[in-house]
Amino acid sequence: RDNERVIPAPPPALDGWRHVYSGKVRDLYVPADTAEGGQPAHLLVVASDRVSAFDHVLSPGIPDKGVLLTTLSLWWFDQLAGADGERGIPNHLAADHILVGDEPHELIPDAVRGRAMIVRSLDMQPIECVVRGYLTGSGWAEYQATRTVCGIPLPEGLRDGDRLPEPLYTPAYKAPMGEHDENITFERSVELVGEDTAAALRDVSLEIYRRASATAEERGLILADTKFEFGFDAEGVLTLADEVLTSDSSRYWDAESWRTGTTPAARMASFDKQIVRDWLAAHWDKQGEPPTLPDDIVTRTRARYAELLERLTS
Ligand code: ATP
Ligand code: MG
């Protein structure tokens, strides 16, 4: 594993936990008493303030990003746990992970409080379960060339940012560390994980998207697209894992701007890292190391993350 390539600072040493893996944004730990190479029951997932764009970790990070995104994930897990006769979506939080509003669990070290989750270690499925309710980003690029999104044919005349006739499930293969994730067809996902699991991933992803976008709409927000990851728990239950419905895994837009905006940029007034992507696209040719982010881009990005959390949860 070529982790050093992307990690700007070594992850903190944490009492009771041993560091085993760092992705671009998060650091994973197992209980310190886990045998070398052993399969632990639980993991500590720590969200850092690192921000990535175009597959590069940028410098500096966004202050408080780890806390803001973890708080949002925990809030969504709770929303999806099932109220008002809705089916509960099983999630990977350990039974003793105390939810938002309560004191964090005593096993979460002080150094990472507020940005760590104790989760059950799952048999992760190698599929990024993407759901798109609106046409933009890579979907828009493909549509312009072929009138399709991930091979699914769409009507003529759609514009960047338009709502799709219905939400689309467009899975991607979760490539091993360091490789690019690759869009795949539903049929390919059947080959990778089997027919029953592929269908279950699709159905639950669409269901979560529908529920979450209804919640977002009540708060004047559009959930344009998002990505989930799932794994099987020890009892074989398909379980929602990773972070959910955060501004790293999703695009959120302001609904009012979307309705009244006249340019794609105005319509897609966004609460994710589009500010960072746009600045980088204008100041970097994507060769070599990306430039340092200026203070005002960092400040504005932080403000957007904080505003999203506030608008959703308050
Ligand atoms: P990238 O740098 O491309 O984002 P990544 O997705 O591997 O790589 P992170 O998202 O930073 O890195 O790290 C989180 C990792 O933890 C992911 O690999 C994710 O699949 C894994 N993960 C999340 N929840 C669980 C769980 N409950 N059990 C096991 N692994 C999990
Ligand atoms: Mg990830």
Q: 4 pLDDT exceeds 50? A: no
Three-state SS for 256? helix
The residues lining ligand 1, judged by C-beta closer than 6 Å to any ligand atom, are 23-26, 28, 43, 45, 92, 119-122, 124, 229, 231, 241-242
Tell me the CA–centroid distance for residue 128 and ligand 2, in Å. Answer: 9
Choice from 45, 65, 239 to test ligand 1 binding pocket (greatest atom count within 8 A of CB): 45
Residue 312 φ/ψ, nearest 5 degrees: -75, -45
Q: 3 pLDDT exceeds 90? A: no
Each residue's pLDDT tens digit, 58-104: 999 999 999 999 999 999 999 998 766 678 999 999 876 544 345 55
Q: What whole-number distance in Å separates Cα of residue 44 and Cα of residue 108? A: 8
* Residue of 162, 158, 161 whose CA lies nearest to 144: 158
Answer yes or no: are the C-beta atoms of 1 and 22 closer than 8 Å: no
Each residue's pLDDT tens digit, 146-184: 999 999 999 999 999 999 999 999 999 998 766 778 899
The pLDDT score that the predictor gives to residue 97 is 55
For residue 76 the two structure tokens come to 């969504």
